[in-house]
Amino acid sequence: MANSEGSREILHACLVLGLLALINVVRCDNYPDFQSRRSLIGETIFDVTKFGAKGDGITDDAMAIIKAWRAACTTVGAAKVLIPRGDFVAGEVVMAGPCTAQKPITIEIQGNLLAYDDMSVYTRGAWIMIEKVDGLVVTGGGTINGRGKEVWQYFTKGSPPLPVVSSIIEASSIYFQDIVMDRVKNPIIIDQHYDSKRKREPSKVKISDVHFRNIRGTSISAVSISLNCSSTFPCQGIELSNIDLQPIAPIGPLRSSCSNARFFVTGKINPTAPASCV
């Protein structure tokens, strides 16, 4: 949705996970700071099973999840979308705003959320998209499984299925926090050059105030921390805090890379953060 200037789209999300159909398994751990968000007075719970989700590991529950999101987004007061215990398969899911609910909306994943393995359902080239939402927290102790092993076979090297944007977009106040990675490809990544083989112009996405905090687990990518930002709009205010990633043999020691990003480090970082970023 364009603002008053008519030429910019603004995406603001307080987000723990950026979700694309390119990952293996991520677990959303329960942490005390998120637990307090779930005790809001008058919070309305929107259970996806009440909107038709089966959670049987077979049925595509995407529409039920979207309906639950729409109901939560358009309510007044505190709202929570609940994905209870079970195996919830979902194709393309768009969680769109702006919302009238009290910020932040909580998405609580208690069960397993799995990407649908039929790639024809992904009309916009991504799995879960969050658009024009200001204030969002993902928690719950469940898992998010993008079925990366099955998905990557459909794409040529260097051409992941991400949507192309033409207008200037601002992405800020994004949190990737308290995440356990299990054999994940590119566990920590900002990549503004994913479409560089088809488009030569620099990315028009302005990325700032992005936080990677308390992330641990295993990586199948040798470069497990990658900040690959635009030369036109360098990334600003990127935080790397308390990261502990271990390699899965035989890729050897993990390393990090960076270009056109201003970042800062707090706590312990493994692999070591880039010495420079030019």
CA-closest candidate to residue 140, choices 260, 37, 253: 37
Other C-beta atoms lying within 10 Å of the C-beta of residue 56: 11
Task: Please say whether the beta carbons of 145 and 27 come within 8 A.
Answer: no
The 3-state DSSP class for residue 192 equals coil
Task: Please say whether the beta carbons of 142 and 25 come within 8 A.
Answer: no
Res. 151 pLDDT band, cuts 50 70 90:
low
Q: What is the largest CA-CA distance in the chain?
A: 52
Other C-beta atoms lying within 10 Å of the C-beta of residue 123: 10
CA 237, distance to chain mean position in Å, is: 18
C-alpha distances in Å from residue 11, one per residue of 99, 132, 168, 179, 249: 13, 5, 10, 22, 38
What phi and psi values does residue 36 have, to the nearest 5 degrees? -65, -25
pTM of the model: 0.58
C-alpha distances in Å from residue 144, one per residue of 44, 87, 109: 23, 10, 8
The predicted pLDDT at position 230 comes to: 85
Buried b (16+ CB within 10 A) or exposed e, 65-91: bbbbbbbbbebeebbbbbbbebbbbbb
Residue 129 pLDDT exceeds 90: no
The 3-state DSSP class for residue 101 equals coil
The predicted pLDDT at position 155 comes to: 52
Share of the chain above pLDDT 70, in %: 72
Instruction: Write down the number of H helices and E strands in the chain.
Output: 3, 19
Residue 3 pLDDT exceeds 80: no
Which of 1-10, 197-206, 264-273 is modeled with the greatest confidence?
264-273
The predicted pLDDT at position 39 comes to: 45
**What mean pLDDT, rounded, does the chain reach?**
76
| Total residue count of the chain as it appears in this document | 278
What amino acid occupies position 157?
K
DSSP state of 260: S
Alpha carbon distance 59, 68 (integer Å): 16
Domain spans of the chain, in order of start? 16-150, 167-278
The predicted pLDDT at position 125 comes to: 64
Alpha helices in the chain (DSSP H): 32-35, 62-73, 148-152
DSSP state of 2: B
Residue 137 pLDDT exceeds 90: no
The predicted pLDDT at position 38 comes to: 41
- The pLDDT tens digits of the residues spanning 72-97 come to 999 999 999 999 999 999 988 989 88
DSSP string, 43-89: PEEEEGGGGT---EEEEE-HHHHHHHHHHHHTSSS-EEEEE-SSEEE
The predicted pLDDT at position 194 comes to: 56
Alpha carbon distance 142, 121 (integer Å): 24
Res. 265 pLDDT band, cuts 50 70 90:
very high
| Better pLDDT: 53 or 24 | 53
What phi and psi values does residue 193 have, to the nearest 5 degrees? -120, 25
Looking up tokens 């970042």 gives: 263
Mean pLDDT on 200-221 = 83
